[in-house]
Amino acid sequence: MNDDSNQSLIAHLEALRTVLLRSFVALGAVLLPCFWAAPYVIDWLIKVMLDGENISLNYFSPMEVFILQIKTALVVDILLCFPYIAKQIWNFVLPALYDNERRFIRSIVLASGILFATGVLFCVFFILPLIIKFGLSFISDNITPVFGISNVITLALWLGVVFGLCFQFPLVTYALIVNDIVSYATLRSKRPYIFVGVLALSALLTPPDIVSQLMLTAPTYGLFEIGLYFGRLRKSEKNS
């Protein structure tokens, strides 16, 4: 390896170190305000999830709520810093991309953020209250629910992130078709397998109850169909 190659490798490693350093500094700087805001976030999630239901959440150890606030602060910290971290990563990979690749990535960055936020909000305002109501449907004279706050809020945080990521599915489908990685005809013919794959992924990522699994499967597969449709339109425009 010649000196130019060594210098190029060192420059890339230095740039990567800068990206990682800036990302961790941003996460550290925002973490303290997120920890201060964590109790308010938890209270808001409880209010939305319970949706007027006359039940209370319990904790079973002295440090449980404190640990939950730390966990909530970390998740909120990552979500708030994600745009900045994504920009740092974008600046790092930008010099290695061709003009058409840069234009394509720019076109989906905003859509990715919007879809992620939509997935999180869909989960918080629709899925989580539905799961709580489903759980309460088993109340009887001999069965009384006792919900732990840690279990409920951890479920909310996990499913929020899962739905945000799964709502990226149409962009993945669109990118595969537009960039000629997989043809539209191939994806269309594999619909049954893709549906089964989405169903299996939903079962893996959600709690072991049929409601949350189906509520993740239905929009995710629907978004796949949307990505398939727009990918076909885009290819038709490029070929015309």
pLDDT digits (tens, 9 = 90+) for 87-138: 787 777 767 666 766 776 777 777 888 888 888 888 889 888 888 888 888 8
**pLDDT for 73 beyond 90:** yes
Listed residues 120, 148, 167: the one ending a domain: 167
pLDDT confidence of residue 134:
82
Question: Average of pLDDT values for 63-78?
Answer: 93
Q: Give this prediction's pTM.
A: 0.79
**pLDDT band for position 235 (50/70/90)?**
confident
Mean pLDDT, the chain, whole residue set: 83
End residue of a domain, out of 167, 187, 205: 167
* pLDDT bucket at 72, cuts 50 / 70 / 90: very high
Number of domains in the chain: 2
- Same domain for 181 and 161, yes or no, is no
Residues 146 and 188 in one domain: no
Burial of 110 (0-12, 13-18, 19+ CB in 10 A): exposed
Give yes or no: residues 217 and 149 share one domain.
no
Residues 202 and 115 in one domain: no
Q: pLDDT digit string (tens) for 173-229?
A: 888 887 778 888 888 888 889 899 988 888 888 777 777 788 888 888 898 898 888
Residue 223 to residue 195: CA distance in whole angstroms: 11
User: At which of 147, 167, 187 does a domain end?
Assistant: 167
List residues bridging with 57 in a β-sheet: 147
26 and 114 together in one domain: yes
Residues 161 and 190 in one domain: no
DSSP string, the chain: --HHHHHHHHHHHHHHHHHHHHHHHHHHHHHHHHHHHHHHHHHHHHHHHHTT----EE--STTHHHHHHHHHHHHHHHHHHHHHHHHHHHHHHGGGS-HHHHHHHHHHHHHHHHHHHHHHHHIIIIIHHHHHHHHHTT-BTTB---EEHHHHHHHHHHHHHHHHHHTTHHHHHHHHHHTTSS-HHHHHHTHHHHHHHHHHHHHHHS-S-HHHHHHHHHHHHHHHHHHHHHHHHHHHHHH-
Q: Residue 173, exposed/middle/buried by CB under 10 A (0-12, 13-18, 19+)?
A: buried
